[in-house]
Amino acid sequence: MGTDIQRNSDTNTTPQLPADFWEQLEVQQACREQHFGRLLKAYRELQDPVIKQSELAEMLSLTQGQISRIERGTKKNITFWIQ
């Protein structure tokens, strides 16, 4: 685990969004397509250091496998995942 992630886990906070997060091409495409998995992957990959699936899973009380399935899954919007 990266140092920043460990520090954030210890203080029970999540990493902050990069200032230009919503301006990134992959984020805009994911939103336009309403693809929650791609948005989640962009969130992970735009962090510095990049957040591993297993680290994000721990933050969200999910398994790494669940994160993987969400990211590679078919187009599903947020309402599907919260049901």
pLDDT for position 83? 56
pLDDT in tens, 53-83: 999 999 999 999 999 989 988 665 556 655 5
Question: Are the CB atoms for 19 and 68 separated by under 8 Å?
Answer: no
Q: Which single residue is written with the structure tokens 């990266």?
A: 2
Calpha distance 58→44 (Å, rounded): 13
Predicted confidence at residue 17, as pLDDT, reads 87
pLDDT in tens, 23-64: 999 999 999 988 889 999 999 999 999 999 999 999 999 999
pLDDT band per the 50, 70, 90 thresholds, residue 5: very low
